[in-house]
Structure 1
Amino acid sequence: MQRFSQVNRSNTGTMAANVALFARSADDDYLAVPEKPVEDADTTAESSQFSESSSPLARRKRVRTPTALNIWAESRQPNRHEPERNKHGQKIWYCKRCSYSQAAHNRVRGHLRDKHCVLIFEHQSAKKLGQGVAIDRLFRQQAARQNGQDVERERYLRASVDEVAYNQALVNLITAHSLPHSLVEWPECRQLRKALLALRELEGSHSGEAIAETFLQVVDSYGVRAKMGYFTLDNAYNNDTMMHTVAETCGFNSTHRRLRCNGHIINLAVQAFLFGKNKEASDEALRQVSRLSRREQEGAVGRAETATAWRQYGALGMLHNLVVWIRSSTQRYQAFLQAAGRIIPQDNSTRWNSWYRMIHVAIALRKELNSFMDDRYSESDIRFDYLHPEHWQELQEIHDFLQPFYEITKDTQWDKTSLDEVICSMDFLVTHYKAAMEQFQHNTTMVDRIMTSWYKFDDYYTRTDDTPVYAAAILLHPSLREAHLKEAWKDQPQYIGPAIAAVRKLWDDFKPQQEPEIEEDLSAYEAYKKRIYQKSSCHDEFSRFIEGPTLPIGDSSALSWWLEPTQQTSYPSLYHLAINIFSIPAMSAEAERVFSGARRTVSWDRGRLSAQIVEYTECLKHWIKSGLLDQPYMIPEPMDAELDSRDIEMLSEGIEPRVVPLE
């Protein structure tokens, strides 16, 4: 595998308030779980404060009622030298069976369960019990109504379908297009499916242990703990802790199962290129830019001060100042829109490729932007951000370097993208770095940018060696196989052997163990026939496939190719491993989409929706859009609208809200 140099490895992690869990499966033997990247704690606090100011009920602090009071029956009083409360005023729980103590009470039950085999259950309030009873009753009644409607619909459908004409059309289809005669027996749901399993509010600590506990609760509620596959996560430290905790509980190798979102890797490399001065100061530079963007958005400092800070980044910062300046006035905004026909998008610290898009549009509107600035050159201190030809040249060079990163991010964010494209895109970026270093060898500024980005990228590129499924996605792709590794890594062939050996170890652990053959009393002729006809089947499926010739599959995905009946027959065991691997998403983009969509669910006039109702709504929305619910004709009104105080009272008293059809 192509390497650049030994680099310092570091993760940039933040905290999260919610956890989104997904299941992707092409058959019932595999689940891959991408998780929403954790958000910055300051951003979470900011959004929380903003939400409080937008709702009149949010001004009253909600008093939480303890739901696991039985934990105190398993505690002891603190000794004289032991504090009763921590520095935050939280009461400390001391285990009466060992020396364990904990102020975060949500971890106490896990300690009692794992160390002392003592189970403590939550006591639900009467209000929650009433809500649960009401919701269960609604769904039971709806199911009963729906069953009756389904029977009636099926009766009308059978009466309206001409079975003879249908069978004749099916025969014509099979014969005219040379389709397999077994087409009528193909399962209809052999494509990759995805489902949102939960969107849980993570109360209390956002540590990796707390995330792991919530995750395992969700997995156990669906009964799929034994089917857990791989985890596509961002690079936060608490995700590493979460993986170690889950792996220790479930008994698997956390390093092998922990995959990193390709979009996050590319974004970190791009950020290092834009703002990092060298590999040592790269992480600190990114933190400074994040703080500067946040303070600017909050209005914590004046525009003149932030503009001066941004100018230290050259033409990039000057363009940022111009875009902010245009957008800060309604008159300037409308005037530029009328002159240019569109507005230059502003960069965003949390949105991938936002800097590239800003530069891309600005270059396209260079003439209009310069003319707009010429007419207002004397206004304020904006003349310090006037873009001269050398600045436009710098922006063009930045744009050209970032273009492949933008294209790869867009290409690998879809559901059909698998891990083979991650490795192929990384191999391409290595060649891109080399070409850029040669192109800008006399431009010290660009060389420093490229080197800093390359170090950051290589840090995560080398980590793909820790997870054999990346190489497995190449070896098991019908159009790539072993031949691609030998071609792509021909400059450093020492990495080919270990990669294949790691995948073979994965295959050896996965394939079923062969049962000892029973001695048969065969004649010489029968033994000869058995030997020659079973010769091919005795050859290892893995070796036979990766050493075989590559096959072009066109626009079809590798997963679709492996799901064909021919592959199931030719590789009856390897077929299952391939499905597992090609079901893994390259990015956690779907989790990003769910969180963005949840913001539209919790609109400004629906700020009183509880976290549980939001979770129900988002799961139903995702199941409907994914086609997992065939006939979602009716949904309880509280699931589709905000719950006001009257709705809550009705649910708590066991009274059913009105049920309306979903248009």
Structure 2
Amino acid sequence: MLPSPPPSAFSFLRPPRNLASQFELTTQSALPDHPTVADLPRAVWRNKRYVLEESLSRKGSKGRKSWIKRHGFFLVEIDTNDSPLSPYWACRLCDAKGQPEFFAAAATSSAADHLRKSHRIFESSQAADPDLSTDESERPKRRRLQYSAVPRARVKMIRELSLGLLINTNVPFSFFSDTFFQQLAWQLDPHLADQIPWSRQSMGRLLDDTYKSKKDEIKQELSDALTKIHLGFDLWTSPNRHAVMAVTAHFLDRQGKHQSRLLALRRQLGCHSGESLAVTLGQVVREWKIEDRVGTVISDNASSNDSCLVNFYGDLDAEMSLADVRARRMRCYGHILNLVARAFLYGEDFESFEAESQVFDLLGRREDDLRHWRKKGPVGKLHNVVKFIRSSPQRCELFKRISRENDEAQEYLLASESTAELEVVMNNDTRWNSTYLMISRALVKQGDIRAFLVHPEVEKWLPEADMLKGDDWRLLAEIKLILEPFYLQTMRTQGWGSEGGNGRLWEVMTGMEYLLEHLEDRKLFHHAVPDEAGGQDTNSQAEQARGRPDRNRQLPARFRDCETDIHPRKSRQGPLSDRGSRQCDDGSGKPSGSLGIDDMGKDHRHYLRLSIMTAWQKLNEYYTKLGDSPLFAASIILHPSLGMNYLEVNWASEEQLVWVRDAKIGLSDYLDRWYHCNRPVDEQQKMIMDTSTSLSVPRTTTEVSVFKQWIKSRTAKTTVMGSELERYLRLEPQETEDPIEWWMAHQGQFPMISQLALDILAIPAMATDCERSFSLAKLTLTTQRLSMTTETLEKLQCLKNWVRHGAVKLGATIVLRVIKYLKYDPGFDLFDLRAALAPRMIGG
């Protein structure tokens, strides 16, 4: 049915002929944010005013289901004070003639008789009409639901806002059943409070319905995405001892903005093998109907994740090879930084060290735990000191009192704020940055900690072996200097991408190059300091440092014969100046200039060298693994501000030119395999066929013609392919702050490469959104809510994620639009407002 033309200016001057035209006229404007009965669409007939029954709230009502609903209007008469009176049914066929017939809607028998006798309209199934199938005397009595003066649109909006409050503040579903809240709501608006079902069961049903409706919106958003859908997943043990897998989606929307959506918090049953993980991940992907849109997968470096992705991609595409899976396996940059920093702090076997510390803590073996941490030098001693301060309220008070006394002793502070109220920070076993923050805060509070350690009460209880000396503080300052770039890299890349940076894939390889060079600088600096008692091991390490240990990147099989030892990119002529070793005055806690590393004890110098070497080896190990996927290097090549020029400058030695060639060929092969051969319509092949058919080739020379077409297809394919990639590679680095904006502006010039570039720019550097979901879920699963099912937790956390990212909004006012079926259509359900009323979101 064609939509009716918009009303002319003259149509507003003449009185409406019937009810339908009056409702059509009044539904053209949106309702206000807080509508009343006076704002609802209405019709006037014979000096009586009517509103649609579905627009009024009736607590407990599930809506009309009678068959006569398709052939008439269910109306409610309102008085001069806008209070609802009696319900009526008006015939649409009679209304179309300008003579509507009204029947009381308390029962539908009179209206059904009218349709049968006057219009020869019969119900197809008598069982569908309860008013006709049962005698009035036999029908069970139930309480008649009273009409309210509160519009249903307002009730719907307030219910969604109430659900948003539950989701955002992590309060239980029974929150609105609280007596004091009920009294408060009654005082504010008794009519409204009486109409809103706020019971725990009602809020649970509302959560289910809202999740289903909002999930459809997210599905549409994923369907409209500009790029492929990249997935991130991780495992977590919930407070109620369930294994839970979080799955997130990352993509660019049609405006080129990075988007991240939580798709699932799904319980992981059984063992955590790769096959089991792949089953859960595949279920989530199929549930969201994105099987053909999956790009890469970001996860940590667990070996089970490797086998998981082999099974996962094998289910999606049976033709995908092991090399194809490796190309799409993105290692979480944050997890790599975590492993490297923990190796620096605790040695190569850091997991055993942390596990042993946890065992001592669980068994209450305090002295063993102190001795265990003490083995780690100044970091372990600082851990013991901080634990000593925080383990007793009396010690915390003593430390604060000493801090205030030191602060008052300084008559004035010119360029710094008072640190007297700052607390010392305690690290934990699993988060390396907590150790960095502990050291940073300790250096700020160094004067206060030193004064605390010499207090008589402290000297009596704290072991002498845990006392921090001058060398210890110098070593802690150097450790902070070495770890600071790792901390800054973590903070930079754990966020959501902004203008193509801060958390994008191209920052992984560049960041690892930066950190490798940082470690090499510090390693060369410390080896340049003489150490008479260092022994053969130190001397051999010094020789290695002067030559800068080779950074060997594993090449693909086709280049394995060309693999050689990689020499340093740039030479080091002599020892570097000291950029980090500083000494603090005994009482001030402020740095007093730079101090040579030779003032540090030989044991501390040896500890630093070994720590730097361990961290460098761990970082180089994962830097080597980047060669498994061509996308890491491609993310740099396809960054307009970096391009091939960046790789050629940084990989400048003769041997490193193999890396450059590898990166270029890897990009070309990936582009040819996934963005050329599998295009929906092969424009190049079509162009070749059109060109070949235009040639005047005799029909008798079929074999020659086919051969020439084969030659031309291969030549044209290579030329078109090569021309687009080569044209981009010949460009000079472009000055742009936003590579996404640049590629969207050049899609016409580089149609295939731009799609690959946008897909790569949508890949995050980390899977931190999974960790964020776990942290938020832990706030929801308090000790009083541990019986919550994983399904309910998933709905709560998904809605929280979608609302906070602006993907959906909770709380809506209804826009009544001109509905085409206001004109008679017997097959359409006129007042099914789920189809007739479109929501306009106003806030979350």
Map 1:505-520 onto structure 2 (within 5 A).
Answer: 505-509=669-673, 510-511=675-676, 512=679, 513=682, 514-515=684-685, 516-519=688-691
Corresponding residue for 2:438? 358
Distance in 2 separating the partners of 1:372 and 1:314: 20
Select which of 387, 405, 413 maps to 2:494.
413
Corresponding residue for 1:427? 513
Distance in 1 separating the partners of 2:296 and 2:265: 19
Select which of 310, 329, 345 maps to 2:373.
310
Select which of 308, 323, 337 maps to 1:266.
337
Q: Offset of 1:302 from its aligned partner?
A: 2.2
Corresponding residue for 2:768? 589
Higher alpha-carbon deviation: 222-231 or 602-611? 602-611
**Partner of 1:605: helix, strand, or coil?**
coil
Q: Do the aligned partners of 2:256 and 2:740 also contact (CA within 8 Å) in 1? A: no
Distance in 2 separating the partners of 1:480 and 1:198: 36
Q: Do the aligned partners of 1:208 and 1:240 also contact (CA within 8 Å) in 2? A: yes
1:625 partnered with 2:706:
no
1:348 partnered with 2:428:
yes
Corresponding residue for 1:130? none
**Partner of 1:478: helix, strand, or coil?**
coil
Letter in 2 for 1:501: I
Q: Offset of 1:537 from its aligned partner?
A: 7.4
Query: What is the number of equivalent residue pairs in this alignment?
Result: 452
Q: Offset of 1:343 from its aligned partner?
A: 1.4
1:400 partnered with 2:466:
no
Select which of 661, 664, 668 maps to 1:504.
668
Q: Do the aligned partners of 2:328 and 2:629 also contact (CA within 8 Å) in 1? A: yes
Corresponding residue for 1:480? 642
1:328 partnered with 2:391:
yes
Letter in 2 for 1:289: F
Distance in 1 separating the partners of 2:451 and 2:227: 62
Letter in 1 for 2:341: V
Q: 1:386 to 1:616 in 2, by over 3 A?
A: same
Select which of 546, 558, 562 maps to 2:743.
562
**Partner of 1:35: helix, strand, or coil?**
strand
Distance in 2 separating the partners of 1:190 and 1:395: 44
Map 1:525-536 onto structure 2 (within 5 A).
Answer: none
Q: Do the aligned partners of 2:494 and 2:768 also contact (CA within 8 Å) in 1? A: yes
Q: Please report the RMSD computed on the Cα atoms of aligned residues, expressed in angstroms.
A: 2.8
Q: Offset of 1:48 from its aligned partner?
A: 4.5
Q: Offset of 1:210 from its aligned partner?
A: 1.2
Q: Offset of 1:295 from its aligned partner?
A: 2.6
Q: 1:304 to 1:26 in 2, by over 3 A?
A: farther
Cα deviation digits, residues 256-296 of structure 1 (max 9, x gap): 111111011011111111111xxxxx1xx212222133235
Q: Offset of 1:351 from its aligned partner?
A: 2.4
Letter in 2 for 1:606: R
Corresponding residue for 2:629? 467
Distance in 1 separating the partners of 2:375 and 2:482: 20
Q: Offset of 1:381 from its aligned partner?
A: 3.5
Q: 1:411 to 1:503 in 2, by over 3 A?
A: same
Q: Do the aligned partners of 2:334 and 2:766 also contact (CA within 8 Å) in 1? A: yes
Q: Do the aligned partners of 1:598 and 1:614 also contact (CA within 8 Å) in 2? A: yes
Instruction: Indicate the structure whose relative CO is greater, using CA pairs within 8 Å and at least 6 residues apart.
Output: 1
**Partner of 2:746: helix, strand, or coil?**
helix
Corresponding residue for 1:220? 286
Distance in 2 separating the partners of 1:24 and 1:440: 52
Corresponding residue for 1:370? 450
Gaps of 5+ in 1: 1-20, 52-186, 277-281, 523-535, 635-660
Corresponding residue for 1:90? none
Q: Offset of 1:24 from its aligned partner?
A: 8.2
Q: Which has the higher helix share?
A: 1
Q: 1:353 to 1:341 in 2, by over 3 A?
A: same
Q: Offset of 1:612 from its aligned partner?
A: 0.5
Q: Offset of 1:633 from its aligned partner?
A: 4.7
Distance in 1 separating the partners of 2:720 and 2:657: 30
Corresponding residue for 1:530? none
Distance in 2 separating the partners of 1:229 and 1:352: 31
Map 1:65-464 onto structure 2 (within 5 A).
Answer: 189-251=255-317, 252=320, 253-276=324-347, 282=348, 285-298=349-362, 300-338=363-401, 339=403, 340-375=420-455, 376-416=457-497, 417-441=503-527, 442=529, 443-464=605-626
Distance in 2 separating the partners of 1:472 and 1:337: 53
**Partner of 2:454: helix, strand, or coil?**
helix
Higher alpha-carbon deviation: 318-327 or 411-420? 411-420
Corresponding residue for 1:549? 732
Cα deviation digits, residues 385-422 of structure 1 (max 9, x gap): 11010111111111111111111111111121211111
Q: 1:625 to 1:337 in 2, by over 3 A?
A: same
Letter in 2 for 1:217: Q
Q: Do the aligned partners of 2:229 and 2:295 also contact (CA within 8 Å) in 1? A: yes
Corresponding residue for 1:86? none
Corresponding residue for 2:759? 580
Letter in 1 for 2:232: P
Letter in 2 for 1:318: K
Q: Do the aligned partners of 1:32 and 1:584 also contact (CA within 8 Å) in 2? A: yes
**Partner of 1:378: helix, strand, or coil?**
helix
Distance in 2 separating the partners of 1:273 and 1:231: 28
Map 1:19-34 onto structure 2 (within 5 A).
Answer: 27-34=225-232
Q: 1:548 to 1:620 in 2, by over 3 A?
A: same
Higher alpha-carbon deviation: 576-585 or 204-213? 204-213
Q: 1:228 to 1:458 in 2, by over 3 A?
A: same
Letter in 2 for 1:389: G
Distance in 2 separating the partners of 1:304 and 1:290: 16
Gaps of 5+ in 2: 1-217, 243-252, 404-419, 498-502, 530-604, 696-718, 814-841
Cα deviation digits, residues 610-651 of structure 1 (max 9, x gap): 1110001111111111121144459xxxxxxxxxxxxxxxxx
Q: Do the aligned partners of 1:234 and 1:261 also contact (CA within 8 Å) in 2? A: yes
Q: Which has the larger radius of gyration?
A: 2
TM-score (norm 2): 0.51
Q: 1:662 to 1:605 in 2, by over 3 A?
A: farther
Q: Offset of 1:436 from its aligned partner?
A: 1.1
Give the percent of matched residue pairs that are identical in Structure 1 and Structure 2: 30
Distance in 2 separating the partners of 1:485 and 1:538: 22
